[in-house]
Amino acid sequence: MSPLRVAVVGANGRVGRLLLNQLKNSSSFATPLAIVRKQDQVDYFKNEAGVDASLTDIETSSASEIAAAIKGYDAVVFSAGAGYDGVERIFTVDLDGCIKVVEACENAGVKRFVVVSALRAEDRDFWWNLEGLREYYIAKRSADREIRSSKLDYTILQPGTLESNEGTGLFQPLDKLDEKASGLYSINNEDVASFITQTLLHPDVTVGKTIPLVNGNESIESFIQSL
């Protein structure tokens, strides 16, 4: 199989940077594309990180402009987010930004799409009363639903709370997830990045799936084969 060409939206984020590093260092992947929103980030990725970069702000760009940036790639990973930058940007980045990237993939003929969503985003009863997080989960849940009704070969990854960068390589088997404890579940950033990499390499067991990601005691290989 020829090396996969992957574009990463949200490349400058904690998960995004770790992911680009993994893709760059694996012979299964061609030089990845970092999609970022500032010129100094383009300069960093091209000159210091040694990957390709595109200055494409998903908030202000049209779906056609995003399509032009990702055309020719085999897969797009969406790991962008407004963070704690106010409710308006949650809607223009996490929700509409994500939907525009989905439309761009459809327009550019990029079939494979992997998104970093959030654990139990579909469960309104879980998040409705979580202080300061209601709008965030509305955006994640709604974006996930758009993705499921798209024509893309999608995988929706739903990590628990993101913790320190260092990976454990260990995941919680799905049949051992206790829904009542969801608010307590976490996963390290590097493990999310590693799982995205494995998702891209194993479309056979990940396409069309929504996969909760939390640290546990099962190896990544056996976790992915159990899906």
- Taking the complex as a whole, the smallest distance from the CB of residue 116 to ligand NAP amounts, in Å, to 4
Stretch of residues binding ligand NAP (CB under 6 A), selected from 5-13, 62-70, 202-210, 215-223: 5-13
- 13 versus 167: smaller Cβ distance to ligand NAP: 13
Q: Residue 19, Cβ neighbours under 10 Å: how many?
A: 30
Q: Which residues of 89-124 are buried (b: 16+ CB within 10 A; e: fewer)?
A: bbbbbbbbbbbbbbbbbbebebbbbbbbbbbbbbee
- 79 versus 172: smaller Cβ distance to ligand NAP: 79
Best CA proximity match to 56, nearest among 3, 21, 108: 108
Q: Does 13 participate in binding ligand NAP (rule CB under 6 A)? A: yes
Q: Residue 34, Cβ neighbours under 10 Å: how many?
A: 28
Q: How far apart are CA 120 and CA 135, in angstroms?
A: 14
Are 3 and 27 in contact by the 8 Å Cβ rule? The answer is yes
Give the catalytic positions in this structure.
136
Q: Does 83 participate in binding ligand NAP (rule CB under 6 A)? A: yes
Among 42, 70, 79, 190, contact with ligand NAP (rule: CB under 6 A): 79
Q: Does 16 participate in binding ligand NAP (rule CB under 6 A)? A: yes
Which residues 6+ apart lie within 8 Å of 200 measured at CB?
4, 6, 29, 75, 77, 112, 114
Q: Does 96 participate in binding ligand NAP (rule CB under 6 A)? A: no
Q: Does 143 participate in binding ligand NAP (rule CB under 6 A)? A: no
Q: Does 167 participate in binding ligand NAP (rule CB under 6 A)? A: no
- Contact residues toward ligand NAP (CB under 6 A) are 10, 12-16, 37-38, 57-59, 79-83, 93, 97, 116, 118, 159, 161-162
